Amino acid sequence: MATSPLDHLDDEISRLLAEISALASLDELIAAEATLTGRRSVLSTLQKSLGSLEPEERRTAGAQLQAARREVESALEVRRGLLEAQSRAQVLERDRLDLGDVVTEQVPWTTSVGHPGLVALTQRALEDVFVGMGFTVSDGPEVESDWYNFEALNIPPAHPARGLWDTFYVELGEPETVVLRTHTSPTQVHLMETAVATGTLPIHSVMPGRCYRRDTPDARHLYTFHQIEGLVIDRGITFADLAGVIETFTRAYFGPDITSRLRPGYFPFTEPSAEFEVTCTICRGEGCRTCSFTGWIELGGCGMVDPAVLAAVGVDAEEWSGFAFGFGIDRCAQMRHQLSDMRALTENDARFLEQFS
């Protein structure tokens, strides 16, 4: 029988397969590729030698050689996949952080930049509503003298109404003469004094800001909280103007299905005085635990500025009259977002804060 160039093909294949499975790294594999399957390989040499065969034999031998090449190439790919996986595992193992060690690696900064908190957002929304109604926005100090926080507001020393505000006193000057403001009403006094001194009456302004009271925090009270005060001093102002502003604000801020009502109340700086209530936003007026089944929630106080207050700051009560109101910004946030506990506003829990932006 005539010899064929492929007589030892099976042995060659076995040798190549053994060589492939001995390759120990990707580098070795890449270096060996040319001699295993490339131009310098036994397979390529055999391929060339087929040219000397008869056409019939050449076809059979060619097919045989093709099959052999496929077998070797696929063994090589399997080996490549295995070595790549091993090398990946080595990199991971090498780069693994031992949590027992001090970690000095710098990780990319992924924390978000943050945004204003719910109270600040609520304050802005309230300011927007009032600015839309023609009010300016004014600021006042958080540390006040007794005069601004109480006396000018018709609350003389030892007046029983002082009991309405549990006051933090600041250790400055005579005892109990400097306070952390218990409400934003003292800012009214500053505005009126300035307007009288500069001849710039009338006033249409809102005054948002932080207030302090010696209260025990609970679901509806904080000892550091926020109010927004409103003051209008102009000619011919009546209680109807006050009621109209309160109602317009209520619908603009809470929505058209929420309305307001005024109930007789008492504040030393307004006469008459009223408590300002809005439809309970939890039950929409049906009556629920939050509103004590009345359908209404108290938001703040209001009234016509008492002539004694106008006199204290030198506004001529013959020419000017006005109304004022004040209510809680935190309470608005609570009602608008149906917060069951107002203390969430001060606890800085990111899971709470992230819900509002």
The contacts of residue 127 (CB under 8 Å, 6+ apart) are 137, 206, 208, 228
Helices (H), the chain: 9-22, 26-36, 42-49, 55-95, 118-132, 146-149, 185-198, 239-254, 307-313, 329-337, 350-353
Tokens of 103: 């970690």
Tokens of 92: 């991971």
What are the residues binding ligand DAH (CB under 6 A)? 183, 185, 229, 267, 269-270, 300-303, 324-326
Closest distance between ligand DAH and the C-beta of residue 145, in Å? 17
* Of 144 and 229, CB closest to ligand DAH: 229
* Of 61 and 302, CB closest to ligand DAH: 302
Closest distance between ligand DAH and the C-beta of residue 211, in Å? 7
Closest distance between ligand DAH and the C-beta of residue 227, in Å? 6
* Of 296 and 323, CB closest to ligand DAH: 323
DSSP assignments along 247-270, one per residue? HHHHHHHH-TT--EEEEEE--TTE
Tell me the angle at which helices 42-49 and 55-95 cross, rounded to the nearest 10 degrees.
Answer: 170
Closest distance between ligand DAH and the C-beta of residue 245, in Å? 12
Closest distance between ligand DAH and the C-beta of residue 281, in Å? 20
* Of 5 and 326, CB closest to ligand DAH: 326
Q: Residue 229 in 3-state DSSP?
A: strand
Are the beta carbons of 299 and 332 closer than 8 angstroms? yes
Are the beta carbons of 246 and 351 closer than 8 angstroms? no
Backbone angles phi, psi at 270, to 5 degrees: -130, 150
Closest distance between ligand DAH and the C-beta of residue 200, in Å? 20
Closest distance between ligand DAH and the C-beta of residue 290, in Å? 20
Please state, in angstroms and as integers, the Cα–Cα distance from residue 141 to each residue in 59, 116, 183, following that order. 101, 22, 11
* Of 147 and 293, CB closest to ligand DAH: 147
